[in-house]
Amino acid sequence: MARAAGRPGVPAHRSPRFGVPVALATALERAWSGWRGPHRTEGNADHRFVMDYPVQRHWRWKIAFYMYLSGASAGLVFFEVLLRWAGAIDAETATLGMTLGVVLSLIAILSVFDQLGPVARWNFAFALRRPRTSVVTRSVMGILLLIALRVIAVAPELAGFESPWAEGTATGDVLRALILAVAIVYIVLSAMILSSWNAIPFWNTPMVPALFVGFSLLGGVTTLPMLTWALEGQAAMETLATDLAPVAGALLIANAGLLLLHVQGMSTATRPARVSVRMLLHGAVRGRFLGGVVVLGLAVPALLVSLQLAGSMTGLEAPTALALAVAVQVGGYLLRDAILRVGVYGSPV
Amino acid sequence: MRWGFVVDLERCIGCQACVIACKAENGTPRNIHWMRVLEREEGEYPDTRRTYTPVRCNHCANPPCVKACPSGAFVQRPDGIVFVDQSACFGDRVCQSACPYYIPFRWDGGDGYFGEELTPYEEAKYGQFRVGTAMKCHFCYHRLDAGRPPACVEACPASALSIGDLDDPESQINETLRRRRHFRPREELGTEPGLYYLVGKGGGSVGGMDLAETDRG
């Protein structure tokens, strides 16, 4: 410790300026994760002493869960605001969508918080320090702004007051327009996290953000009928599900096309990208990708939407919409998980 | 001034002395190696050989880790050395995803080399790191600032490693680079690494990687 104190930039165990003091962080850490036992450093022991193409192991399901939940939350709010403006859902459903969006975002943040370094995680506020260069900082700002705006939008109603920015007022319209804009920006920003670095070729392509955006919107469009069902009853849900079926169908086709293009493109790209594709189609991730993303996340929803559009599901709209929402959500999570798992670095030399 | 690092691949014998010297100097925790010598076997029996390529942080002039780090924990000194200010790091591992050389680590505390109980050496050395934060090679800048070469350079028995000022045209390192064939790791990524590999006269193969191979990643 004394040694380190003499080194500029390695101020060991010194409380960082504006940061949480180490003693407090340690106490908070004990409360947060003490029950889980000692942490193990994943993604370090695999630094082998051979020349190869290493697979990233430091970002796993918690990051995938964060990406999925935050995307689903933003997608939900995006469609909720749009459909409310179009008069397709009532005010109660819109409020529930907004509230659910906040809850999903908070769970997403907790998931990523648990992934941060033990003890050091309590300085998470430092994530906001580099908006000019770090896409992560911009993404964190985006999700916090989105949460804040949604809380502001629903807080008066949830507290039982008459909202000064209720629907129909000028302030209310501006607020909702702002939420819509921030939701779009956030979906794009969070989707760009993986593609902004060129270390991992499979991630470093515009197709990855496009896929994430597509799956986020698909998640939103298939979840909204569920909320309508809960608040307005089956008839309203059936109407909305039928109205939204063409949108869901278009998004499914777009997502399938993007996925096919991405995998096909990567299969003829650089060697690490080809290793990623091999893992995806023939390796350990095959089950998640082919079974979870392709079949459950795309093929099953496509079948259900086709039946909805053909009018073959009369009387079965509720279970169909539920199955559609569940399949799309599971597929959305597994897409993020599979993409993270097949992150292969290029050669270090 | 900008520090540069040169590795003569013709001289490296894969003894791992630099790896051990780095660990001894910096006291890096178990499983964490700021310096590594990567091995690769090539050829077909009986014409086979094993090649060695020392890798460590390249202290890039255009470092992706510095740009990607949301907390500003990765800092670049005026002399080009990139180091981690552990007091600002909160362990998000963004640097690990952004570095194309797979260099940064995160240390989450835990056991030493001989189990749960740390040796006095480990206790003293590990105490200089903050749990849950990133770490990587810092070019032994505490030694450089005191006028001594990094531990790995000093320990190399084959003199395969050397350092110098890249900005000084008269420096030994620039003289060597003018005279010898060389390349920088993954230069095509635009990171402008401060590390140069010297290759032999006939060397079509470097560290096991064919120089003509265009799809290294």
Q: pLDDT, tens digit, for every residue of A31-46?
A: 887 766 656 666 566 6
Q: If you measure CA to CA, which chain A residue comes closest to B100?
A: A199
**pLDDT band per the 50, 70, 90 thresholds, residue A203:** very high
Q: ipTM for the complex?
A: 0.88
- Report the residue count for chain B: 217
> Looking at the domain A61-341, which fold is it?
Formate dehydrogenase/DMSO reductase fold (1.20.1630)
| Span A208-234, average pLDDT | 90
- Which pLDDT tens digit goes with each residue over A147-158? 999 999 988 888
**Does residue B125 register a pLDDT over 70?**
yes
Average pLDDT of the residues of chain B: 89
Residue-wise pLDDT for A294-348, tens only, equals 999 999 999 999 998 888 777 777 888 889 999 999 999 999 999 999 999 998 8
pLDDT in tens, A61-99: 999 999 999 998 889 889 988 988 888 888 888 888 888
User: For the residues A221-249, what does the mean pLDDT come to?
Assistant: 88
Interface check for B148 against chain A (CB to CB < 8 A): the answer is no
Q: Which residue in A has a C-alpha nearest to residue B187's C-alpha?
A: A349
Q: Most A CBs within 10 Å: which of B35, B41, B128, B129, as the mutation test of the A interface?
A: B128
Tens digits of residue pLDDT in B86-112: 999 999 999 999 999 999 999 988 888
Assign domain B3-203 one CATH number from 3.40.50.2000, 3.30.70.20, 3.90.1150.200, 1.10.150.530: 3.30.70.20
Residue A315 phi, psi (nearest 5): 90, -15
Looking at residues A165-184, what average pLDDT do you find? Answer: 89
Round the average pLDDT of chain A to a whole number and report it: 87
Residue B209 — pLDDT band, cuts 50, 70, 90?
very low
- Residue A7 in contact with partner chain B when CB distance is under 8 A: yes
Q: Is A177 on the interface with B (CB under 8 A)?
A: no
Of A1, A8, A16, the CB nearest to B128: A1
Is it the case that residue A10 has pLDDT exceeding 50? no
Q: How does residue B30 score in pLDDT terms, banded at 50, 70 and 90?
A: confident
DSSP string of chain B, one letter each residue: --EEEEEETTT-----HHHHHHHHHH-PPTT--SSEEEEEEEEETTEEEEEEEEE-----SS-HHHHH-TTS-EEE-TTS-EEE-TTT-----HHHHH-TT---EEE----BTTBSSPPHHHHHHHTTS-TTEEE---TTHHHHHTT---HHHHH-TT--EEEEETT-TTSHHHHHHHHS-EE-TTGGGS---SEEEE--SS--EETTEETT-----
> Is A116 in Cβ contact with B105 (below 8 Å)?
no
Using a 10 angstrom Cβ sphere, with 0-12 exposed, 13-18 middle and 19 or more buried, the burial of residue A217 is buried
Q: Where are the domains of chain B?
A: 3-203
Check whether B8 has a pLDDT greater than 90.
yes
Judge: B68–A271 Cβ closer than 8 Å, yes or no: no
Q: Which of A1-10, A89-98, A243-252, A284-293 has the lowest mean pLDDT?
A: A1-10
What integer pLDDT is reported at residue A36 of this predicted model? 65
Per-domain residue ranges of chain A: 61-341
